[in-house]
Amino acid sequence: MKKHNFSAGPCILPQSVLKQASNAVLNFNDLNLSLLEISHRSKDFVEVMETARSLALEHLGLQNKGYHALFLQGGASMQFLMTAYNLLENKAAYLNTGTWSDKAIKEAKMLGEVVEVASSKSDGFNFIPKNYTIPKDIDYFHCTSNNTIYGTQMDGFPTTDVPLICDMSSDIFSRQLDFSKFSLIYAGAQKNMGPAGATLVVVKEDVLGKVTRNIPSMLNYRVMINKDSMFNTPPVFAVYVSMLTLKWLKELGGISEIEKVNKQKAALLYTEIDRNPLFKGYVAYKEDRSIMNATFNIVNEQLKETFDSQVKAAGISGINGHRSVGGYRASMYNALTLESVQVLVDVMQEVERIG
Ligand SMILES: *Cc1c(COP(=O)(O)O)cnc(C)c1O
């Protein structure tokens, strides 16, 4: 039987998507060729790329609003550098909410001045800073919507006149937002979309072309836009599977429908974490809790072994916390079912009973 996969990333994908993806590896579109052995310039693959890009914009409600959707390589980590390369002329502001923001800041500092408007670093990133001021004389403001490692998530986003850039790697397509507030959104595929290897970048036309530096082709959004994400050979499999997942999401009714399920899953688990005296959440304030990644600890370390073995026996996989935080982390991405969360909650209750 398939495990209940709570892995933080790479992570669970819809079973139907995995089946179609495996078929395409053997025989893609009834061509009697593998998806992996045809030209990326072939009509069949170009259509995959076009569909993936247009579905991404459609889900975000950004069609015909001056945005380009790109599928690039190098992971979200490459975007830490690429955003700065393309948009940072003098000064940018960053909100530091976790390891990923911290890394983005480090890259941006190579290209200009960086103002850290607020940080929760000294508290182990266990909350989202609020009431910070965004300077006016900056090229953009960068934030991370969901902090995969710590289990915090931004609820509101600042209203500002400067371009907003957001790393949405671990919560893209999971909840409805006014995505038109953002000038640039990026997300590595492997958390809610597909296999590692592709990164979605959604960039608004009007923020480009403002820096004076020379930008190497592979780091240049303009080049990627002009070449329809095919400047060089794209990660064909990762793009194909991402397309399948975006189709799957559309058939389910889109972000607004999946958001309902995601909220149910999160409510089920957090209610148990709060109720069960054996467990304690990692995040300091309830309003900062992520609906994607729930982090928690077991209060009585002596019961850890019992819990771990019950977890294993129940077919639950991937709930160990990130090595920098410890404890547990249950990631509840789009493809994870409410039933899987119920199985975890049942185990938590069982350990309370026998403990
Ligand atoms: C996983 C993750 C990253 C890093 O993604 P890579 O594709 O491995 O570079 C960056 N930001 C966030 C929020 C993440 O969850």
Domains recognised in the chain with CATH numbers: 15-252 (3.40.640.10), 255-354 (3.90.1150.10)
Half-sphere exposure of 157 (CA within 13 A, CB side): 24
Residue nearest to atom 13 of ligand 1 (CA): 169
Residue numbers in the known binding site for pyridoxal 5'-phosphate are 76-77, 100, 148, 167, 190, 232-233
Q: How far apart are CA 162 and CA 151, in angstroms?
A: 27
27 residue type, one letter: N
Please identify, by atom number, the ligand 1 atom nearest to the C-alpha of residue 146: 13
Residue nearest to atom 8 of ligand 1 (CA): 75
DSSP string, 51-66: HHHHHHHHHHT-TTTT
Q: Which of these is catalytic: 191, 204, 248, 265?
A: 191
Which among 325, 316, 354 has a CA at the least distance from the CA of 7? 316
139 is annotated as an active-site residue: no
Q: Is 73 in the pocket of ligand 1 (CB under 6 A)?
A: no
Q: How far apart are CA 113 and CA 154, in angstroms?
A: 24
308 is annotated as an active-site residue: no
Q: How far apart are CA 12 and CA 193, in angstroms?
A: 9
Residues 6 or more apart in contact with residue 44 via CB below 8 angstroms: 28, 29, 31, 38
Mutational test site, ligand 1, from 82, 152, 165, 169, max ligand atoms within 8 Å of CB? 169
Burial (CB count within 10 angstroms: exposed 0-12, middle 13-18, buried 19+), residue 314: middle
Q: How far apart are CA 193 and CA 182, in angstroms?
A: 20
pLDDT tens track, the chain, 355 positions: 899 999 999 999 999 999 999 999 999 999 999 999 999 999 999 999 999 999 999 999 999 999 999 999 999 999 999 999 999 999 999 999 999 999 999 999 999 999 999 999 999 999 999 999 999 999 999 999 999 999 999 999 999 999 999 999 999 999 999 999 999 999 999 999 999 999 999 999 999 999 999 999 999 999 999 999 999 999 999 999 999 999 999 999 999 999 999 999 999 999 999 999 999 999 999 999 999 999 999 999 999 999 999 999 999 999 999 999 999 999 999 999 999 999 999 999 999 999 8
CB 340 within 8 Å of CB 6: yes
* Confidence at residue 355, expressed as pLDDT on a 0 to 100 scale: 82
Tell me the CA–centroid distance for residue 335 and ligand 1, in Å.
18
Residues 6 or more apart in contact with residue 235 via CB below 8 angstroms: 71, 73, 197, 198
Q: Is 169 in the pocket of ligand 1 (CB under 6 A)?
A: yes
Residue nearest to atom 2 of ligand 1 (CA): 169
Mutational test site, ligand 1, from 145, 170, 193, max ligand atoms within 8 Å of CB? 170
Which among 82, 4, 6 has a CA at the least distance from the CA of 329? 6
Q: How far apart are CA 165 and CA 221, in angstroms?
A: 14
Enter the tokens of residue 245.
């997942």
Which among 50, 57, 49, 80 has a CA at the least distance from the CA of 172? 57
Please identify, by atom number, the ligand 1 atom nearest to the C-alpha of residue 144: 13
Q: Which of these is catalytic: 100, 139, 204, 265?
A: 100
Q: What is the DSSP letter of 289?
A: B
